[in-house]
Amino acid sequence: MPTVTGGSRPWTEQEGGPTHRFGDEQKVRYKARNVVERCLNRLKQWRGVAMRSDKLARNYRAAICLAAILIWIKTDSINTA
């Protein structure tokens, strides 16, 4: 390891930033929020849902429901295989 001058340490030896200790309740909230965010990101991969190309709200909602069902079926078949 190279010698350190000037009172600084190499990046590999530096201590990290402050560690955050979450309570149990916050861990549960984070997990739930993470699931929702991942679901929304998967829905955004559907072009019609991401661009909101439907004129009527009911058609847009139907597209979201269809996309969600297909994503659910796909992930369910992957997890059970």
Q: For the chain, which residues make up each domain, given as ranges?
A: 23-80
Rounded to whole angstroms, the maximal C-alpha distance in the chain is 68
Torsion region of 7: left, alpha or beta (phi above 0 gives left; psi -120 to 50 gives alpha): left
Task: Report in angstroms the alpha-carbon separations of 72 from 11, 17, 27.
Answer: 43, 38, 24
Note the pLDDT of residue 26. 84
**Per-residue pLDDT tens for 19-75?**
667 778 888 888 888 888 988 888 888 888 888 888 899 998 999 999 999 988 988
Q: Please list, in sequence order, all residues whose beta carbon lies within 8 angstroms of the beta carbon of residue 49, skipping any fewer than 6 positions away.
A: 43, 60, 63, 64, 67
Rounded to two decimals, the pTM is 0.54
What does the chain come to in residues?
81
